[in-house]
């Protein structure tokens, strides 16, 4: 009886190597799988791995895009970050202070043209006026912008598109009559010139819903039309930036009183 028990125990001990061998083979297989996986990383596998880790640790990803591990990510080249001027959070809450900032931006952007008396900037209590002489904007009797006027208007648009303020573009003419198919009177000419400027602003990124084009024709002169210099002053386009929508009505009251 004792000998049979001993033989049975020795038989059990001899079969234990199979368990160890199976564990070894399993670990070896897992090792080769891991080696193969890390030797052929691609974006798809990275996304799967990233999603798995996120779900496992129950954390919120900090970026919707995976980290770039290609040439761009390893090149070490510095990335240029474009400066953001006057971000929305940096704008003054007070509309009056905002107008002060807009006037300062206009004066800085238009320095060479202000010195040449092609442009002037005026700040009122509830709006800012940028006056553009039409001598460099349009040919006589035309509402088609000159090529040299586009870069100047682009500078103006770069200021305007940073702000949410309402904008009114006003066209004015002298009292020299016009009667063509396109422009039966100075009303149509002044309105068409204002609309041409508005189109440039819109193409440069100024929100169209913030803008209005108005034509006053010859009926709001600022100088005597009897002289050439006076007529030149009366041919103008005004870009009026309002403090808010309520300021438009006040502007209309002032405009109706003449200048």
Per-residue pLDDT reduced to its tens digit, 86-99: 444 455 567 788 89
- Residue 117: what pLDDT? 87
Q: Report the pLDDT averaged over residues 73-90.
A: 44
E strand or H helix that includes residue 128: strand 127-133
Counting residues of the chain whose pLDDT is more than 70, the rounded percentage is: 65
Q: What are the boundaries of each domain within the chain?
A: 2-74, 96-256
Nearest Cα residue to 140 out of 92, 183, 98, 99: 183
The answer on pLDDT for 63 being more than 80 is no
Q: How far apart are CA 198 and CA 194, in angstroms?
A: 6
Distance separating alpha carbons of residues 102 and 107, to the nearest angstrom: 9
Instruction: Please say if the pLDDT value at position 187 is more than 70.
Output: yes
> What digits encode the pLDDT tens for the residues 107-125?
999 999 999 889 999 998 8
- pLDDT the model gives residue 196: 97
State how far the Cα of 219 lies from the Cα of 211, in Å rounded to an integer. 22
> What is the pLDDT at residue 49?
57
Residue 231: closest CA among 127, 151, 135: 135
139-169 burial, b for 16+ CB within 10 Å, e for fewer?
A: eeebbebeeebeebbebbbebbebbebbbbb
26 confidence band (pLDDT: 50, 70, 90): confident
pLDDT at 95: 76
For residue range 199-216, list pLDDT tens digits in order. 999 999 999 999 999 999
SS3 215: strand
Higher pLDDT, 235 or 48: 235
pLDDT at 73 > cutoff 80: no
The tally of CA atoms less than 13 A away on the side-chain side of residue 92 is 10
Domain boundaries 96-256, corresponding CATH code = 3.30.1330.60
pLDDT recorded at residue 61: 46
The proportion of the chain whose per-residue pLDDT surpasses 90, expressed as a percent, equals 50
Residue 22 CA to its chain's centroid (Å): 64
Give phi and psi for 119, each to the nearest 5: -135, 145
């Amino acid at each position: 009886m004792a000998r049979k028990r001993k033989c049975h125990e020795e038989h059990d001990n001899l079969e234990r190597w199979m368990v160890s061998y199976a564990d070894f083979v399993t670990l070896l297989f897992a090792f080769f799988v891991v080696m193969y996986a890390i030797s052929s990383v691609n974006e798809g596998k990275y996304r799967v791995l990233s999603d798995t880790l996120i779900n496992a640790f129950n954390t919120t990803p900090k970026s919707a895009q995976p980290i770039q591990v290609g040439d761009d990510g390893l090149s070490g080249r510095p990335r240029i970050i474009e400066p953001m001027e006057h971000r929305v959070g940096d704008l003054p809450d007070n509309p009056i202070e905002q107008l002060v900032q807009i006037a300062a931006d206009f004066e800085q952007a238009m320095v060479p043209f202000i010195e040449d008396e092609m442009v002037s900037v005026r700040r009122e209590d509830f709006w800012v006026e940028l006056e553009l002489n039409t001598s460099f904007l349009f040919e006589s009797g035309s509402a088609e912008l000159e090529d040299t006027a586009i870069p100047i208007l682009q500078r103006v648009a770069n200021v305007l598109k940073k702000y949410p303020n309402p904008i009114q573009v006003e066209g004015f003419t002298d009292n020299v009559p016009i009667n063509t198919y396109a422009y039966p009177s100075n009303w149509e000419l002044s309105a068409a010139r204002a609309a041409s400027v508005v189109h440039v602003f819109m193409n440069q990124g100024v929100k169209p819903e913030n803008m209005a084009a108005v034509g006053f024709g010859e009926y709001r002169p600022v100088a005597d039309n009897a002289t050439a210099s006076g007529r030149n002053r009366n041919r103008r386009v005004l870009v009026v930036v309002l403090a808010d929508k309520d300021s438009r009505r006040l502007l209309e009251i002032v405009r109706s009183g003449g200048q």
